[in-house]
Amino acid sequence: MVPERLRPLLEETAPLAERFAAAGRRLYLVGGSVRDAILGRPLDHADLDFTTDARPDEIEAVLCGWADAIWDQGRRFGTIGAARGDRRYEITTHRAEAYSPDSRKPEVAFADVVEADLSRRDFTVNAMALSLPDAELIDPFGGVSDLASTRLRTPLSPEESFTDDPLRMLRAARFLAGYAMVPEPDLVDAVKALRGRMEIVSVERIRDELDKLMVVEKPSDGLWFLVHTRLAEEFLPELPGLALEIDPVHHHKDVLAHTIAVVDKTSPERILRLAALLHDIGKPKTRSFGPGGVSFHHHEMVGARMAEERMRALHYPSDEIAQVRRLVELHLRFHGFASGWTDSAVRRYARDAGPLLGRLNELTRCDCTTRNQAKARDLDRRMDQLEARIAELEVQEELHRIRPDLDGNLIMEHLGIGPGPLVGRAYAHLLEVRLDEGPLGEEEARRRLDAWWEKNRP
């Protein structure tokens, strides 16, 4: 009897399995879809991964006439990709692979049995295969038992597994956080011993794996794992650098614990989570002690630069770097208006945040990790008030597209000048007036422009 939770997978894969069977080849479903089906999680994977005893040329021959598109960029690694409808497939010849000590590219050898392939996978909970179409579960390393006991192990020794592919050490953090698992002591020891092997892993693979950790529901267990094993020092040294010693006199909080708590509180949206992770990285460089206690003056500006540098080192796209930098730069802006918000301050806050306004407000709320419930309630109340003010002015003034009352063409026409730096300066002046005072109307804007021109004409 096939378990009900496996039926969607079998129905999804039946046409492909029948083609391989007709060709006299075995086909197995592997990876996250098998693991999540056993856990009863819904089948929502865009991609399905398979392994087979067929060689790449045979795989391609089986897919011809069935798939809408076929690609073979991974042929040297035994992988042929295909698409049919809105579903993508990757089918790989059974293989064993290992990284040589000084290479970023694995050396691939094909295998004839699925057990050999499974032995080279990252963790036992991923080293399971579902034989198709007969639905026999192949579990040579006790993955089902480890799922039930939330135990994270490697199929072979962790030293061998992490030497094969050092990125698995970072992937372990994601599984600890995403599946509430507990690492075996020898796995932890291996990460501590082999963390330097991360230097052979491409920056892009590290970045992509970090992104996956950032969007699990609660990343904290994974982040603590990265710190405690010192793995974070290999690609994100700013994170363990936040573990400031708690001063017995000034009693300031541990910035690392605070940061990880903020990450957990935010919504699992990647850019927001990255901003939460990096929002206080400027504190170690700006920490000072005075009569009033510890302070971190301008840590948001220092942190914004540091966030940009780290994200560039991890090869993030420029637009994502700009978004995270801006969120880090602005995350204290709200607290500068504790005495109240003028219309001018609200306009500037909304203008400076731009399309990041919602994320900035959430980051600001989540940045409050105090156990003082009265203080937390006060912050929420003030943020509610600010958001209400923004909504009010949005209706009145279309804050999302604030512009001066005169555009560049009108400025040039009124002043009788051509394009150049003076037009930009005049425009900036009218924008500042607009932010301070709200809409002026075209006639008043011309008077303000004339007054500015009297002081600034060449």
The SS3 call for residue 306 is: helix
Q: How far apart are CA 18 and CA 103, in angstroms?
A: 39
Place of tokens 């060709």: 23
pTM of the shown model: 0.82
> Domain 4-143 is classified in which CATH homologous superfamily?
Beta Polymerase, domain 2 (3.30.460.10)
Q: What are the sequence ranges of the domains in the chain?
A: 4-143, 268-401, 408-456
Question: Which pLDDT value is given to residue 250?
Answer: 42
The SS3 call for residue 261 is: helix
Helices (H), 195-250: 203-214, 220-228
b/e 261-289 (16+ beta carbons within 10 angstroms → b): bbbbbbeeeebbbbbbbbbbbbbbebbee
Q: How far apart are CA 233 and CA 140, in angstroms?
A: 35
Q: What is the mean pLDDT of each run of 10 residues along the chain (458 residues)?
A: 72 90 94 86 72 95 93 90 89 77 68 91 94 91 95 96 94 96 97 96 96 97 98 96 64 80 96 97 83 76 95 97 97 77 82 91 89 82 85 67 79 84 83 79 84 84
Question: Which pLDDT value is given to residue 97?
Answer: 63
Residue 272 tokens read as 């927001």
Q: Nearest-CA neighbor of 256 among 267, 247, 245, 248?
A: 245
